[in-house]
Amino acid sequence: MTFILETRNVGYSYGDGTKALKDVSISLEEGEKIALVGPNGAGKSTLMLMFNGILRPSAGEVLFHNQPLQYDSARLREIRRKVGMVFQNSDDQIFAPTVYQDVAFGPVNLGFPKDRVKLFVDYALQYVGLSGYERRPPHHLSGGEKKRVAIAGILAMEPEVLILDEPTSNLDPASSEEIMEMLEELNSGGKTMIISTHDVELAYRWADEVILMEDGGVLRKGIGPEIFGDEDLIKRARLKLPIVMDLYKELVNRHLLDDSRPPRNILELTDLVESRTRGTNSRVTLGKIYISNVDDASPEEIKSILNGSHVNYTGAMGTNAKALAEQAKKPLDFTYGVIDKCILKALTGKTSLIMTSGGMVDHSIKRIRDYCEESGAEIEVVKLSPLAESSVNPDSQEISSQTDSTKPAEAAQ
């Protein structure tokens, strides 16, 4: 097990004497999605500010890759490059007159030459879906766009860890989902992600690891079902159960479900109810899920995939995929929670297409394969290749593909 960040007996008091952290010892694994969860004032933000040396502990120590943080200016600059922090309020982070200048701030400060700065900024803006926004003044952007600019500013420094304080606060539901999906995409590309939140719904479905905080200390660390399945613990932290967990507990209390496997999301809950009420074998013929890697295709090819395919629903994950769907003038049925929604549709006999890119392609296949292994459902997954798309057969209205229809386990290999 590799720990990327650790705190050992960390304590912190602010100048006015407020004890914000008390004896916090936690270890965070590399490549994980971690949520610090707790009510206001629990110490989440203060702990986050320890991770890249913005604050220095009054007691104990913080380690990055097993090395204690050093607080001289050269090493602080280095740690802040590797552990990037996105503040809760984007206006605290964004200050340059244009989007380009703001995102370039980090690389310029690192002393990169102009052409390298441009390369990094172009990459970061493209990743967050803001190519073309370079000359816009950030203060004219929407809340979701500002958050993207702040994330791009961090990405331009190629960090190993991204820390986001309350990433969805003040965003509307669609913008929140898009930001969380972007964090998922970054994580599937290998980055360790740490968020703080008091949104239990978000933490439960998103995080690999939950750290429950209260009154400057850690109440419990564990996987979502352990933490959110413990009603007393959640009450003590002045939080509430996620709706899926609440409903599950009610169904267990009424002896409609057993209490062996708390569901993480609607898909798992629906499955439990279905297997209890009519058994998995009585399902209709399952629909397929096609997955298209938009990185490998031009807008024309994407257009031909969308027009030639016989799919009931189309979803896109990631900014590139969404931008291409827009260029192809294809209205999308799903723009967030895409994989689970496509699985839910497959279970009712409908066929879906997921447009995505990069590491999210394999991530999608793995998610479907894991679901199939757990549930016993055999959903057919077809990875599409744009080269084969040009040979879509208009008579059969079926998508042809370089990859033969595969069961998820084979497709993922």
Chain residues in the site for ligand ADP (CB under 6 A) = 14, 16, 18, 20, 38, 40-46, 196
The packing angle between helices 299-308 and 319-327, to 10°, is 80
- Which C-beta is closer to ligand ADP: that of 12 or that of 105? 12
CB of 83 to ligand ADP, least distance (A): 17
- Which C-beta is closer to ligand ADP: that of 11 or that of 299? 11
CB of 230 to ligand ADP, least distance (A): 20
- Which C-beta is closer to ligand ADP: that of 41 or that of 217? 41
Q: How far is CA 196 from the centre of its chain?
A: 13
Q: Which of 274, 283, 285 is nearest to 251 (CA)?
A: 274
Round to whole Å and give the CA distance between 367 and 185. 13
Tokens of residue 229, six digits: 């399945």
CB of 170 to ligand ADP, least distance (A): 15
Round to whole Å and give the CA distance between 190 and 320. 19
Tokens of residue 105, six digits: 């701030």
- Rg of the chain, C-alpha, whole Å: 23
- Which C-beta is closer to ligand ADP: that of 36 or that of 343? 36
Task: Please count the other Cβ atoms lying within 10 Å of the Cβ belonging to residue 373.
Answer: 11
What are the φ/ψ torsions at residue 126 (nearest 5 degrees)? -65, -40
CB of 291 to ligand ADP, least distance (A): 38
Round to whole Å and give the CA distance between 379 and 356. 19
Contacts of 376 (CB under 8 A, 6+ apart): 280
Contacts of 120 (CB under 8 A, 6+ apart): 104, 107, 112, 156, 157, 158
Task: Please count the other Cβ atoms lying within 10 Å of the Cβ belonging to residue 81.
Answer: 18
Q: How many CA atoms lie within 13 Å of 295's alpha carbon, on the beta-carbon side?
A: 10
CB of 228 to ligand ADP, least distance (A): 18
- Which C-beta is closer to ligand ADP: that of 239 or that of 272? 239
- Which C-beta is closer to ligand ADP: that of 22 or that of 350? 22
Tokens of residue 325, six digits: 């769907």
Eight-class DSSP state of 288: P
- Which C-beta is closer to ligand ADP: that of 38 or that of 224? 38
CB of 20 to ligand ADP, least distance (A): 3
- Which C-beta is closer to ligand ADP: that of 30 or that of 215? 215
What are the φ/ψ torsions at residue 67 (nearest 5 degrees)? -105, 125
CB of 55 to ligand ADP, least distance (A): 9
Separate counts of helices (H) and strands (E) for the chain: 17, 14
- Which C-beta is closer to ligand ADP: that of 25 or that of 298? 25
Tokens of residue 289, six digits: 């899920």
